[in-house]
Amino acid sequence: MSQIALTIALPFLAAFLLPVIGRVYEALARVLGPLVLLYCLWLVLQLWGTGDGHPVALAMGGFRPPMGITLYVDRLALLFTLLVSLMTLLLWPWQRAADSRECALTLLLAGSASGLALSGDLFNIYVFYELVSVASFGLVAVHRSGAAFVATLRYLVISGFGTVLALTGIALVYSQTGTLNLAQLAQLAPDLLAGPVGLAGFLFMLLGFGVKGELFPVNTWVPEVYATAPARASALLAGLVSKLSLLVVLRLLVLLYQQEQALQLLLLLGVLGVISGELAAWRARDLKRMLAFSSIGQLGAMFIAFSIPGNAGLLAGLALALHHLLVKPALFLLAAGWPGAVERLRGLARGGPLAAGLFVLLALSLIGVPPLPGFWAKMLLVVGLAGQESGYLLALAVVLGAAVLEASYLFRVVAQLYHRDEEAARPRPYLLDLGSAALAGAVLLSAVPFISPLGDWLAGTAAQAGDREGYIITVFPAAGRPLYSAAGGGKPALAAAGPLPEPKP
């Protein structure tokens, strides 16, 4: 299981060496990135096959927690590492492969995203989150137009603001607890983080780590960036990176903040996100902007799901997240070949029947039409919300209203696509994007007959992710207490440690 660290290390190594190799042997540099990602994919699949499904904690550098950094490998983390390799491979910037810097940044994004999924240390999460940000700054600016620069700049400023908030939150948590290890924090949280300082720390970290998750007040970068970035970068950000941000919030909630106030705060921000996102999407006049705003709304729904206490909320949130991860990138890829404004999509179905058909399929699933997987994800959310108290019922009304809005604006697009009595617009040729989108559609359809086993599996994963005690015991096996204090100083964990040298006077 130690090899899982390779999914972080190898992409970094390849990215460092890419400019050097590119100068000597260009053909190798061109395929190096996909090869490394393929290897990571294979590795994760193999670990998946050999593992027994129980979570494992890895001590980076051989230093036992809480001193060193812990990687926590449970089913959810493994799933996300798999998805990271798979998605970056599918969304690899093939068309622009000439620029080694773009390949290097994509590799860095993949490595840091794996790190984010695996990390069990608060500050380490911050570092990988920053790396994801910085790598994505370069990727969204590659079109090098004025608009792209300004959009990236606003994205950077908002991310930087989030950085400051997250760092402040970490400082507050550290000042209360004196540790960064998530398992130890989980032990201490009920005593030390329940007060106002701890909650303020949660607010700051939520706003900071929520920037990529398009959380309500820190999401103004979304429409501009998705409108100016290359479709593949948008797809990566909207599909993958936003889900990693959700994963961080999930870990914080489950391990550190199982308190009502924290959940209420998340619920409030989620509801505001749904309302503002869906309304803006409904008003949007070009397709990319519409998709971007609707993505804000859908991520808001996931935050609402996470704010439901208990595993039902986790399950609903994860189902929504995985569905969105499949559908949204495909929609962005389809939109890449079409002219922007909705009115200009008129009659496009005749020019590209496959793309239009795919769009209809994906849109139906996004709205939540049975028997497509999107329906089941929304169903879980609705059922979870219906079993709760007053505030959640309001959120239920908002979610249902949002579904109606979603249906209205997506059908507006579909109606344009299948408009008859006009000169048919023709899409730009974009086989690769269409192929990836078709793959997503195929996966979506093939999931329909297996909904029940998939749901069971996901429920197991959610239960494991929501198991706070299990997390603590996995990281600190000795009766769930930190080893160093149990053993009173303890022996050094390092095999390489020599005899004890005396400090010089």
Partner 1 sequence: MMPAGLPFLFYAGAIGLLVIGISGIVLSRNLFRIILALALAEAGANLLLVLAGWHWGGSAPILGQGKALETMVDPVPQALVLTAIVIGVGIQALALALAVRAYRAYGTLDMRRLRNRMNRDIAAAAGIPAESSRDAPAGGRPTPPVPAAHRSGGGRA
Partner 2 sequence: MRNLASLLFAGGLAFLLMAIAALLPFGHPPVLAGGAILEQAADQVGAANIVTAVVLGYRGLDTLGEITILFAAAAGLGLVLGRRRAGAPRDPDAGPVLRTGAALMFPLLVLVGFHIILHGHLTPGGGFQGGVILAAAFFLPLLARPGTPVDHPGLSLVEGTAGAVFIVTGLVALLTGGEFLQPLLGTGTLGTLFSAGTLPILYLALGLKVGAELAGLLARLADAETDT
List Cβ<8 Å contacts ≥24 apart for 55-61: 55/464, 55/470, 55/471, 55/474, 56/1, 56/474, 57/120, 57/183, 57/474, 57/475, 58/1, 58/2, 58/4, 58/5, 59/493, 60/5
Residue 2 φ then ψ, to 5°: -60, -25
Q: For the beta carbon of residue 334, count every other beta carbon within 10 angstroms.
A: 29
Collect all residues with Cβ–Cβ distance below 8 Å to 362 and sequence separation of at least 6: 327, 330, 331, 334, 437, 440, 441, 444
Looking at residues 167 to 226 of the shown chain, list those that interact with partner 1 (rule: CB under 8 A).
Answer: 167-168, 170-172, 174-175, 178, 180, 224
| Cα angle value 481/485/486 (rounded, 5°) | 60
Distance CA 464, CA 241 (A): 22
- Cβ-based nearer residue to partner 2, 268 or 383: 268
Looking at residues 10 to 69 of the shown chain, list those that interact with partner 2 (rule: CB under 8 A).
Answer: 12-13, 15-20, 23, 58-63, 66-69
The answer to the question of residue 161 lying near partner 1 (CB under 8 A) is yes
The answer to the question of residue 497 lying near partner 1 (CB under 8 A) is no
Distance CA 403, CA 410 (A): 10
DSSP class of residue 448 equals G
Q: How far is the CB of 340 from partner 1 (least distance, A)?
A: 3
The answer to the question of residue 424 lying near partner 1 (CB under 8 A) is no
Looking at residues 397 to 416 of the shown chain, list those that interact with partner 2 (rule: CB under 8 A).
Answer: none
Question: Would you give the binding string for partner 2 spanning residues 183-222, x where CB under 8 A is met?
Answer: -x-------x--xxx--x--x-------------x-----
Q: How far is the CB of 116 from partner 2 (least distance, A)?
A: 10
Residue 339's binding partner out of partner 1, partner 2, none, with CB under 5 to 8 Å set by partner kind: partner 1
Tell me which residue of 47, 405, 96, 390 sits closest to 231, measured CA to CA.
96
The answer to the question of residue 351 lying near partner 1 (CB under 8 A) is no
The answer to the question of residue 180 lying near partner 2 (CB under 8 A) is yes
Residue 429's binding partner out of partner 1, partner 2, none, with CB under 5 to 8 Å set by partner kind: none
Tell me which residue of 212, 35, 123 sits closest to 115, measured CA to CA.
123
Distance CA 267, CA 302 (A): 10
Residue 95's binding partner out of partner 2, partner 1, none, with CB under 5 to 8 Å set by partner kind: none
Distance CA 374, CA 388 (A): 22
Q: How far is the CB of 255 from partner 1 (least distance, A)?
A: 19
Question: Would you give the binding string for partner 1 spanning residues 304-343, x where CB under 8 A is met?
Answer: -----------------------------------xxx--
- The sign of the CA dihedral 276, 279, 285, 286 is positive
- Cβ-based nearer residue to partner 1, 295 or 365: 295
Question: Would you give the binding string for partner 1 spanning residues 216-255, x where CB under 8 A is met?
Answer: --------x--xx---------------------------
Residue 319's binding partner out of partner 1, partner 2, none, with CB under 5 to 8 Å set by partner kind: none
Q: Which residues bind partner 1 (CB under 8 A)?
A: 123, 127, 130, 133-134, 137-138, 141, 143-154, 156-157, 160-161, 163-164, 167-168, 170-172, 174-175, 178, 180, 224, 227-228, 285-289, 339-341, 344, 503-505
